[in-house]
Structure 1
Amino acid sequence: MRSTRSSAAEQQVRRHRPSSARARAAAGCRCQIELTTDLNLAALVRHADPESVHNTTMRTAKPLPHWETGPVTLMGDAIHTMIPAGSSAGTALRDAALLCRRITARTGSLRDAVHAYETEMLDYGFAMVERSLRSAS
């Protein structure tokens, strides 16, 4: 049976839960760091809304050969979806930076710059997919 008295950890959860959406957004990073380092995980889970937890299927992309470069390209999870391992967003940002560099430094056509981006992105993007799979097993 659960005690009616609040533990110090539970009181800290309440203290770090700002009342307005704006205050929660502003304090988000600070609270997340404090909650993950200072609190008992069990207290945090007890305050979670059970209706907010759902099962999901994890999917990952399979390596693809390069396609014919056209007027549209892909980046991030649109091309190299990976399981959550902390590297997906970083890889998408790397894609964006590389595409930007290839376009701004181009000496040939725009399509040639995009082709150069796609070729390089496919190599490191699917290497990251493989790495995320290894880290999950």
Structure 2
Amino acid sequence: MKPTIRVQSEDFDIAAEIQALTAGNPDVGAVVTFTGVCRDEAGRLAALELEHYPGMAEQEISRIATRADGRWPLTGLAAIHRFGRIRPGENIVLVVAASKHRQAAFEAASFMMDFMKSRAPFWKKEIFLDGTDGGWVDARSTDEDALDRWSQK
């Protein structure tokens, strides 16, 4: 299984990504998706500016996907992360995990998101409706805490 990894500015079509991952694969019995969407922060946010380190971001996501594939019996895995200006309600990230059985797909998707959130080199800056720059969003300790559960399994 070779994971699909993309970092792109344009939006993605969730149904098309699922179809691409599962088409012609008779071993798929479960598909789990996670889509991260830009919040409006109580109506204050105009957009997020997402930046990344080109090449390094794809490499790190690939490393995470390889770990997931080694840990669970997956039949397919895709991770897409957007960059650029993203407005509230727009997609930011997509993970699609496929396997013969649901538990592997659920866990692999959760693992991917926990590690992408904490390890993939992306930076978010808030742009508020009044035009002010809200600055770069700091990492949360809860994101790091989420990684701990994977070392205990």
If asked which structure has higher relative contact order (CA below 8 Å, sep 6+), I would say 2
Greater share of helix: 1
TM-score (norm 1): 0.29
